[in-house]
A and B are shown apart, each in its own frame.
Chain A
Amino acid sequence: NAGVMQNPRHLVRRRGQEARLRCSPMKGHSHVYWYRQLPEEGLKFMVYLQKENIIDESGMPKERFSAEFPKEGPSILRIQQVVRGDSAAYFCASSPLTPGPGGEKLFFGSGTQLSVL
């Protein structure tokens, strides 16, 4: 059973371009979370999705950022018109259960390091 797969591992974009980050959850997991990590800091929650639904996007900037988790295929985190401040590591995590008692355990991918020039 493969773990959470994220690609690309490294992504370089110039200011104004679009960044698309992909996450394939573990087999059997239908809950996906996206986190952002700046150097020397902890993870900051961005968005929680289930198949075809955004459940909680309270941590995601209102502009330029969007996420989806289609019925088929990986979850996508999309950043339009990137700026230097978007440079960070973006981690995806998956879970087989809904959040709450018994459903707290998250399995993380290795992340995508986004660098904006």
Chain B
Amino acid sequence: AQTVTQSQPEMSVQEAETVTLSCTYDTSENNYYLFWYKQPPSRQMILVIRQEAYKQQNATENRFSVNFQKAAKSFSLKISDSQLGDTAMYFCAFFRIQGAQKLVFGQGTRLTINP
């Protein structure tokens, strides 16, 4: 079974700083998808960024980018120029293409952006 590990339960940075959230996963699959979701205090789950495993290029969405290291099974999220609105829980998720097609989530990292 796939597992997703987020080793940082909590992080805190100052506004405008850059922060990197870690995620590792365990799988024997070669093709899969990886996601980062954000959950602000409203509890809404919001997609931040998505990466296809067959793509070597790291995904980027405005201030959000990933460092995808397939061999190391690592998928970190970098937030540049952090803003107060980035304060949220961040979940890394793995999606297996073959067989049972479901998202497997990590335990989350609580990120606080301080003014």
Q: Do A and B come from one complex?
A: no
Residues of A within 8 A of B (CB): none
